[in-house]
Chain A
Amino acid sequence: GENVEQHPSTLSVQEGDSAVIKCTYSDSASNYFPWYKQELGKGPQLIIDIRSNVGEKKDQRIAVTLNKTAKHFSLHITETQPEDSAVYFCAARPPGANSKLTFGKGITLSVRP
């Protein structure tokens, strides 16, 4: 089955700096890669996603890149703000109506004011 690795487990950046979170996956059949942000005591919020037919996607301060050959994808947050502090989960999913997301272990991002 799919295995998603997420590194590092914690990341601290200064407000205004950029943050990059990387994930690797094992199943070359996976074709959908979402990123979720989870604040304390809340459910995960889908913030951006990318499909395997695209190499990069951007939404304001957030971007995701995908390297299918190397089987890794990254979340880029520019101009970080304290409200970006949260746990971020990457995930991967193969095709199929009933296919399941496989999540990474999550990374705690802290943005220092």
Chain B
Amino acid sequence: GAVVSQHPSWVICKSGTSVKIECRSLDFQATTMFWYRQFPKQSLMLMATSNEGSKATYEQGVEKDKFLINHASLTLSTLTVTSAHPEDSSFYICSARDTRAPEQFFGPGTRLTVL
């Protein structure tokens, strides 16, 4: 299957700081990218959907000013958690899809810990 990478794989930061997570599709053009959040032993919770060059569409209850998403190219999307707080600690996973095909591929995830 296609490869999606994420960086960093884990990050620890102090409360009040901002953290940027990068998501790249390595061998295909990701016309649509998705950002998920996952709590321990739970399913995937979609945070937002973004199309290359367009503003992201956020799911209900997700603060767009707190979780900034940029999808500047067909291979790169970034999620910035602004003014992070301990309750933002979670496993963040990006996903990418070339909408000419049905498959959606996931990155390896980023473990964020806010102290």
Contacts and interface: CB of A to CB of B under 8 A. Distances in A.
Q: Which 9 residue pairs across A and B have the least CB separation, nearest first?
A: A43-B106, A97-B99, A43-B109, A43-B108, A44-B106, A32-B102, A105-B43, A103-B43, A43-B93
Contact of A44 (B44, B49, B111): B44
A42 B108 contact: yes
Interface string A29-63: 00010101000011111100101000000000000
B16 to A, nearest CB: 27
Interface of A: 32, 34, 36, 41-46, 49, 51, 89, 93, 97-98, 100-101, 103-106
B103 A106 contact: no
Interface of B: 1, 4, 6, 31-32, 34, 42-44, 46, 49, 51, 57, 93, 99, 102-109, 111
Given A89-B44, A97-B32, A46 B105 contact: yes
A104 B44 CA distance: 9
Chain B's interface: helix, strand, loop or mixed, by majority?
strand
Contacts of B105: 46
Given A43-B108, A100-B34, 7 more contacts: A32-B102, A41-B111, A44-B93, A46-B104, A98-B49, A101-B104, A106-B43
Contact of A46 (B32, B103, B111): B103
Nearest to B103: A46
B29 to A, nearest CB: 13
B43 A34 contact: no
